[in-house]
Amino acid sequence: MKSDYEYHIEIENLCTWFGEKQILKNITCYFEDSSVTAIMGPSGCGKSTLLRSINRLNDLVDSFRMTGKIMLQGENIYAPDADVYELRRRVGMVFQRPNPFPMSIRDNITYGPRLHGLHDSDELERIVEHTLRRAALWDEVKDNLDQPALNLSGGQQQRLCIARALSIDPPILLMDEPVSALDPISAAKIEDLIMQLKKDYTIILVTHNVQQAFRVSDQAAFLYLGELVEFDKTKRIAEAPEDPRTEAFITGRIG
Amino acid sequence: MTDSRLNEKQQQSDGSHEPKTRAYGSVANVKRIIQNIKRMSRSKKIDISGKILLFLPTVMSISIIVLIFTFLWIEAFPIFVAPEGGIGIITNPIWNPNDGQYGILVFIAGSFLCTILAISIAVPLGVGGAVFLSEYCPNSLRRPIRMIVEMMAAIPSIVYGLWAYLVLVPTIETIFNVQNGLSVLAGGLILAIMLLPTVVAVSDDALQSVPRTYREASLALGATKTETAIRVVLSAAIPGIGAAIILSLGRAVGETMAVLMVTGNTLQIPYTLFDPTYVMTSIITNQLGYAFIYPLWRSALFAVALVLLLMSIMFTSIAKILIKWGIKSRGLA
């Protein structure tokens, strides 16, 4: 179905704990290349934990434990010899609240490439323009690249964060409720952007907004109390949810 | 209810007698203000009295600064107008009151060098320590270290001075193979040691208050913990670290006892770190007791104090301007 260098992600029997509390229970699923997968579910169901398992950001929490496997391009990212920094270069992330660094707009974009050893200023300029264009922010900020990023509006900041994530050209993009802290107009802009980006990126989008999940995603996962209740093509889930809990969630009775 | 009605009546009668009250001028104005206050609701009255009560401490703290300046100026004035003195004492390196020589350059140079030395040791070390505490240290270790650091800040400066005199000075003599360890270096080092706890504690607080999401964003881009700490967290903590620097600058310039005990108190401009020197605070402490012999002597000591105050304000202001620029360029304010 797909070529050799596809960037799909396979999750096998993933269980995670924070301390004694089990968050994810035996999750097995498969994220396809060049598509948007929405992870839906009520608050506290483990959506963010699942997302953060994919770039190993959960490792920052001392009490985090996990079992199972996450395979990226055929390699287990939790293998003892896996390089977590290399992994995070291939998996970009956009957070719930816009979190641009307290630096200039330009420095926000060049931060990642510089970290990874790129110092050629022409090339950096090219990346700044390219990623800002991709994030549909270029026209708004091209004259103010040296202004502090924190002076931008919330929606602009979030698009800057998307541009920042794209700056190191990761094939996979994780988005943790990227529009929930934004006004409806900014949110719509970012949804459009997600549709644009999915041609070139494998996007995993966490959301508690069912309508949004249905609008932008190709596949959808429904997570409830740490269990993967349903995982299929979005269209199928939207039309005919199999599990009563999924139906209850998408009709708004739980969540 | 009846009260307010009464007030209304009064207001009406006031209105009708308008031309008459004009004639009384300010007395009528005062009356009107008092009536206005009477007419106010309870909460408004509380608000007004609160404003007045809180305004007083503000005025007091400002007037204390003004008073200190005035007092120093009045006391120092004779030396600035005397033929032996004048503004030239600032650039005159010879201090010999018996001979009518009141040059204070030695003390300015001594204080300046000790402060700069202390700050340039304490700030990098302290901020580095704070980065370790905040970013690397496990919580179980961090808490006891913080406790010790805060205890260090509470040690009286005379104790630091004694320790420096007995340990630091001989150590400098052995390590650098010099005859006399009482020097700028000893003064700068003991000052740096005294400043360290403040710099560590305040910087650590500043680093801790940097939102976790900045760290996550950096790590998610493939940065290591160290790259994140230095390039993102430290940069975002600039306002707080700046506060640490300002606090320690003030303390370094004004510190007296410890420096007095280890700098050698010699009337010469130090050209190397191992030369002894005399700082501004020391000369005041040492000589004020018998400076009454010549009125100008006493006045010159107050001139030293005035310069000390100005120097402290100058240091703090420069630091503040730099920090403000740092905050603005980061968009943190």
Q: Considering only the beta carbons, identify the residue of B220, B222, B235 that sits closest to A103.
A: B235
DSSP structure class, residue B81 = H
Q: Which residue has the tokens 């992994």?
A: A87
Q: Considering only the beta carbons, identify the residue of A91, A92, A99 that sits closest to B213.
A: A99
**Which residues 76-105 on chain A approach chain B with CB closer than 8 angstroms?**
85-86, 88-89, 91-93, 95, 97, 99-104
CB burial class (10 A; 0-12, 13-18, 19+) of residue B3? exposed
Residues in A closer than 8 angstroms to B236, CB to CB, are 101-102
Count: domains in chain A: 1
Contact (CB<8Å) B217/A101:
yes
Over residues B282-330, the pLDDT tens digits come to: 999 999 998 888 889 999 999 999 999 999 999 999 999 999 999 998 8
Asked if A150 contacts A157 with a C-beta cutoff of 8 angstroms, the reply is yes
pLDDT tens over chain A, length 255 residues: 344 456 688 999 999 999 999 999 999 988 888 889 999 998 888 999 999 999 999 998 889 999 999 998 888 999 999 999 999 999 999 999 999 999 999 999 999 999 999 999 999 999 999 999 999 999 999 999 999 999 999 999 999 999 999 999 999 999 999 998 889 998 999 999 999 998 889 999 999 889 999 999 999 999 999 999 999 999 999 988 999 999 999 888 876
- Rounded Cα distance, B35 and B37, in Å: 5
Q: Considering only the beta carbons, identify the residue of A95, A100, A116 that sits closest to B222.
A: A116
Chain A with chain B: Cβ pairs closer than 8 A? 81
Contact (CB<8Å) B221/A88:
yes
Does B142 contact chain A (CB < 8 Å)? Answer: no
- Rounded Cα distance, B322 and B317, in Å: 9
Chain A interface mutation, best of B221, B234, B323, highest count of A Cβ atoms under 10 Å = B221
Does A145 contact chain B (CB < 8 Å)? Answer: no
- Rounded Cα distance, A76 and A71, in Å: 4
Asked if B214 contacts B233 with a C-beta cutoff of 8 angstroms, the reply is yes
Contact (CB<8Å) A95/B213:
yes
**CATH code of A101's domain:** 3.40.50.300
Residues in A closer than 8 angstroms to B222, CB to CB, are 85-86, 88-89, 112, 115-116, 168
Domain B95-330: state its class.
Answer: mainly alpha
Distance from CA of A163 to the nearest CA of B (A): 12
Q: What pLDDT is attached to residue B69?
A: 93
Does B329 contact chain A (CB < 8 Å)? Answer: yes
Q: What pLDDT is attached to residue A31?
A: 87
Over residues B9-58, the pLDDT tens digits come to: 444 444 444 444 455 667 888 888 888 877 878 888 888 888 888 999 99
Give the domain ranges of chain B: 1-39, 95-330
Q: Which residue has the tokens 């926000």?
A: A108
In a domain, A188, yes or no: yes
In a domain, A2, yes or no: no
Q: What pLDDT is attached to residue A1?
A: 37
Task: Please state at what angle helix B42-81 crosses helix B295-330, rounded to 10 degrees.
Answer: 130
- Rounded Cα distance, A131 and A160, in Å: 9
Q: What pLDDT is attached to residue A33?
A: 83
- Rounded Cα distance, B259 and B281, in Å: 9
Does B260 contact chain A (CB < 8 Å)? Answer: no
Residues in A closer than 8 angstroms to B138, CB to CB, are 62
In a domain, A132, yes or no: yes
In a domain, A255, yes or no: no
Q: Considering only the beta carbons, identify the residue of B138, B215, B220 that sits closest to A93.
A: B220
Distance from CA of A102 to the nearest CA of B (A): 5
Q: What pLDDT is attached to residue A62?
A: 87
Residues in A closer than 8 angstroms to B330, CB to CB, are 102-103, 148, 150
Residues in B closer than 8 angstroms to A161, CB to CB, are 217
Report which secondary-structure segment, H or E, holds B113. helix B105-131
Q: Considering only the beta carbons, identify the residue of B138, B220, B332 that sits closest to A88.
A: B220
Q: How many CB atoms sit inside 10 A of residue B279's CB?
A: 30
Q: Which residue has the tokens 């009477």?
A: B38
| pTM recorded for the entire structure | 0.83
Distance from CA of A187 to the nearest CA of B (A): 20
Report which secondary-structure segment, H or E, holds A24. strand A21-31
Task: Please state at what angle helix B184-208 crosses helix B105-131, rounded to 10 degrees.
Answer: 40
Residues in B closer than 8 angstroms to A165, CB to CB, are 220-221
Asked if B105 contacts B301 with a C-beta cutoff of 8 angstroms, the reply is no
Residues in A closer than 8 angstroms to B221, CB to CB, are 88-89, 92, 111-112, 115, 164-165, 167-168
DSSP letter for each residue of B143-194: HHHHHHHHHHHTS-HHHHHHHIIIIIHHHHHHHHT-S---SHHHHHHHHHHH
Residues in A closer than 8 angstroms to B224, CB to CB, are 85
Residues in B closer than 8 angstroms to A104, CB to CB, are 329
Q: Which two tokens stand for residue A204?
A: 């995993």
Q: Considering only the beta carbons, identify the residue of B211, B222, B329 that sits closest to A112.
A: B222
pLDDT tens over chain B, length 333 residues: 444 444 444 444 444 444 444 556 678 888 888 888 778 788 888 888 888 889 999 999 999 989 999 999 999 999 999 888 888 899 989 999 888 889 999 999 999 999 999 999 999 999 999 999 999 998 899 999 999 999 998 999 999 999 999 999 999 999 999 989 999 999 999 999 999 999 999 999 999 999 999 999 999 999 999 999 999 999 999 999 998 999 899 889 988 889 999 999 999 899 999 999 999 999 999 999 988 888 899 999 999 999 999 999 999 999 999 999 999 988 887
Q: Considering only the beta carbons, identify the residue of A95, A151, A168 that sits closest to B331.
A: A151
The residue length of chain B stands at: 333
Q: Which amino acid is at B18?
A: E
Does B222 contact chain A (CB < 8 Å)? Answer: yes
Q: Which domain holds residue A64?
A: 9-250
